Amino acid sequence: AKLKGRGQVIYFDQRLHDELLHQHRLSDRLERALENGELMLHYQPQVSAVSGRVENLEALLRWFPAEGAPVSPAEFIPLAERSGLIHRIGDWVMEEACRQRAAWREAGLALERIDINFSGSQMNGADLFARLDDCLSRFGLGPRHIGLELTENVLIEADAHVLEGLERLHHRGFRIAIDDFGTGYSSLSYLKHFPVTALKIDRTFVRDAPERPEDRAIMEATVFIGHRLGLEVVAEGVENAEQLTLIREMRCDLVQGYYFYAPMAATEIERLLAGPAAP
Ligand code: C2E
Ligand code: CA
Ligand code: CA
Ligand code: CA
């Protein structure tokens, strides 16, 4: 290896130092944000690929700091995973999604589930499933009302205890979707062992499908294997009509993306679902 000048070494050290400091501060702010109620859930509709009708919602976490710009979950979730704050954040998400689902049932909104995202480090904690059950029963909700989204890496890395918990949920009729399907490093054989009800095709495939036959081939194969295994197949990140046409031809079941709806606040969901039925 080439010897680096002294100045350069110091430069990299400084950058690393700054980055760590930034993360540390953000982590502190996030903890206070949780306590001060700066976190909220937005909801993105999943629509039927055939009818365009809204079927379910995916809950997506939002952080609007009292001061400063919104911070993306793509930035603060990994941070929360490293600091351990993900457990409290995950509990808050569970609680808030259940509260909202119950409120919308009272209001008579035409809606199936709210799906929530679970990260891997969140599942390592003790009694996550007991807390989920507790939350559901406090709000009088059943397996139809809340679904889970997990990435395939979460499933692969899950220990026996977690898998058992998921299996029990699955058995009781909970929907469990594999998020970002096709982007992990595992073989397909895990599909026959794991309690799964749906596959969500990652949005990078959807994005490139119109230009790239390889991406179309992977999507077609996903729909094929998903349906053969009796799973529902969802395409995420649909942004234009061209992508939608392909997805319909492939016979995906559900579609999610800016082409239909961006994630939105609960009040906007209410306006959407209470409004006049689409023709
Ligand atoms: P994800 O679960 O894969 O969520 C989909 C992401 O794609 C969301 O980003 C959503 O806003 C975005 N999206 C939706 N439609 C489109 C589209 O048409 N085009 C494009 N380019 N993007 C679209 P978001 O909300 O920034 O969330 C990023 C990630 O943060 C999520 O990826 C998920 O991994 C994580 N996350 C969000 N909320 C939670 C949560 O409550 N708990 C956990 N553990 N993770 C969460
Ligand atoms: Ca997701
Ligand atoms: Ca995803
Ligand atoms: Ca993702």
Q: What pLDDT, in 10s, does the model give residues 254-274?
A: 999 999 999 999 999 999 998
Mean local confidence (pLDDT), 159-172: 92
Residue 100, ligand 1, Cβ within 6 A: no
Task: Give the phi and the psi of residue 93 in degrees, each rounded to 5.
Answer: -60, -45
Q: What is the pLDDT of residues 32-76, one digit of tens each?
A: 999 999 999 999 999 999 999 999 999 999 999 988 899 999 999
C-alpha distances in angstroms, 96 versus 40, 64, 86, 89, 99?
8, 16, 15, 10, 5
Question: Which tokens go with 187?
Answer: 């073989």
Closest ligand 1 atom to 149 CA: 2
Pairwise CA distance, residues 44 & 13, whole Å:
41
Mean pLDDT across the chain: 91
Rounded to two decimals, what is the model's pTM?
Answer: 0.93
Distance between Cα 250 and ligand 4 center (Å): 22
| Candidate from 34, 60, 176 with most ligand 1 atoms within 8 A of CB, to mutate | 60
